[in-house]
Amino acid sequence: MSDLKSTAGYLDMDLLRFTTAGSVDDGKSTLIGRLLYDSKAIFEDQLDAIEKSSKSRGDENVNLALLTDGLRAEREQGITIDVAYRYFATPKRKFIIADTPGHIQYTRNMVTGASTANLAILLVDARKGVIEQTCRHAFIANLLRIQHVVVCVNKMDLAQWSQDSYNKIVDDFKKFASRLDNIVDITFIPVSALLGDNIVDKSVNMPWYQGPALLYHLETVYIGADENHVEARLPVQWVIRPHSDKWHDFRGFAGRIAGGVFKPGDKVQVMPSGFESTIKAIHTMDGEIKEAFAPMSVAITLSDEIDISRGDMLVKPNNPPLARQDVEAMICWFSSDKKLAGRGKYVLRHTTNEVKAIITEVRYKININTLRKIEDDLTFNHNDIGRISLRTSAPLIADSYKNNRICGSFILIDEQTNETVAAGMIL
């Protein structure tokens, strides 16, 4: 692989965030380790250090989990406490991996890792086929609206490089995935993470496989259409008022674009007030720009003086979001100390806005192993996923999560402890 010496190339790279799901023994660490090592993201002193620790712990092979499981408790107990972020780059792309562990805290962590990911890698052991866990991972990826899924059929070396084993897994997974409507593209790759087949280089052991190696796919998968570039949304984060002679009347509505395209001269509407105005300019420190789209951070000035503050949203009048106080949502419950119960009151954070919310109905939970609804036990414990209704103290300016991940998501916060107790996706 060529290295990253060329600055020109580095400045052209885009970014892919992906999450990996799998349990301890399906080769996930080996797969990630290979990607990191082959792209030179692991350094000598890091490798030396984990070789030393692996040996002293009595591990047979170099335990790559030790690269990021640096906390004392993790090393002592041999577990991963939460999402570990790892970084590597090739001359084409920079990658952020949200690597989530496979034990009981799994759901909460995978939901967290998946919330910012464009792509999910699901590992399937070629000898075991599609198992309950594979379906659970795919369900969560779909729930969090990860549009690109790569199913790595691993340990092909132990399955005699068998095309039949691979084809059966592809068929089984496709049958299951037909119910997952958010996933727009599924790629299947037969690999051996241990031996490196179809990871960076194409395998010579599986001439029947016509597709790309994993790294090539990660480098080239098109994610430009993932964002909603139609419905314009700018949640206002901060109002910039310089109070200086030069910028006397400047009032810049600053925030990160959450959808659509804004241009100077565009008509915009302020939600929830409904006032309309026109974009005077889009400012950055590097100068005014001609258009702004997600995920750019900008400051917008308007032609009219309108009272706008944090929590408001700039949108376009032809496709505004809904203002709603009654919200239907899927949630994942995070708290291990407190359970969700009907009529519970929470602080709800949505975009840059904060309101109070009361749970009006708990509709059902989902058994994430069978994907069946549970309607007789409605108490949400740690890691439970299900559907609720809630009412807010003031209208949310929101889209459905399906239409916009940023404007359709929220968190619930416990008022006493200030802990984040749930993540929600608006239906």
Partner 1 sequence: MIQDYTITHLKQLESEAIYILRETAAQFENPVLLFSGGKDSIVMAYLAKKAFWPAKLPFPLMHVDTGHNFPETMEYRDRFVEEIGAELRVASVQKAIDEGKVTEETGPYASRNGLQTFALLEGLEEGQYDAALGGGRRDEEKARAKERFFSHRDAFGQWDPKNQRPELWNIFNGRKQHGEHFRVFPLSNWTEMDIWQYIKLENIELPNLYFSHERNCFIRNGVVMGVTDFMDLLPEEQESVKKMSVRFRTIGDATCTGAALSSAATLDDIIDEVAAARQTERGTRADDKRSETAMEDRKKEGYF
Nearer to partner 1, 242 or 274 (CB): 242
Binding mask 245-274 for partner 1 (x = CB under 8 A): -xx--x-x-xxx----x-------------
Q: How far is the CB of 415 from partner 1 (least distance, A)?
A: 9
Asked whether position 93 contacts partner 1 by CB under 8 A, the answer is: yes
Asked whether position 321 contacts partner 1 by CB under 8 A, the answer is: no
* HSE of 173, CA atoms in CB hemisphere, 13 A: 31
Q: How far is the CB of 69 from partner 1 (least distance, A)?
A: 7
Asked whether position 384 contacts partner 1 by CB under 8 A, the answer is: no
Q: Which of 1, 15, 131, 427 binds partner 1 (CB under 8 A)?
A: 15
- Rounded to an integer, what distance in angstroms lies between the CA atom of residue 31 and that of residue 199? 8
According to CB under 8 A, which residues from 55 to 84 bind partner 1? 67-73, 75, 81-84
The distance from CA 184 to its chain's CA centroid, rounded to whole angstroms, is 15
Nearer to partner 1, 94 or 280 (CB): 94
- Residues 6+ positions from 151 with CB-CB distance below 8 Å: 122, 124, 134, 169, 170, 173, 186, 187, 188, 189
Asked whether position 410 contacts partner 1 by CB under 8 A, the answer is: yes
Size of the site for partner 1 (CB under 8 A): 87
H or E element: which one contains 267? strand 267-271
Q: What are phi and psi of 77, to 5 degrees?
A: -95, -5
- Which one, of 259, 258, 256, lies nearest residue 229 by Cα? 259
Binding mask 162-201 for partner 1 (x = CB under 8 A): ----------------------------------------
Asked whether position 108 contacts partner 1 by CB under 8 A, the answer is: yes
Residue 253 token pair: 């509505």
Nearer to partner 1, 73 or 204 (CB): 73
CA Rg value for the chain: 24
Q: Which of 24, 96, 186, 289 binds partner 1 (CB under 8 A)?
A: 96
**DSSP one-letter string for 371-392:** TEEE-S--PBPTT-EEEEEEEE
Nearer to partner 1, 164 or 245 (CB): 245
Among the residue ranges 103-111, 155-163, 272-280, 317-325, the one whose residues contact partner 1 (CB under 8 A) = 103-111
H or E element: which one contains 36? helix 28-38
Among the residue ranges 179-187, 270-278, 342-350, 385-393, the one whose residues contact partner 1 (CB under 8 A) = 342-350
**DSSP one-letter string for 388-410:** EEEEEEEEEEE--TTT-TTTTEE
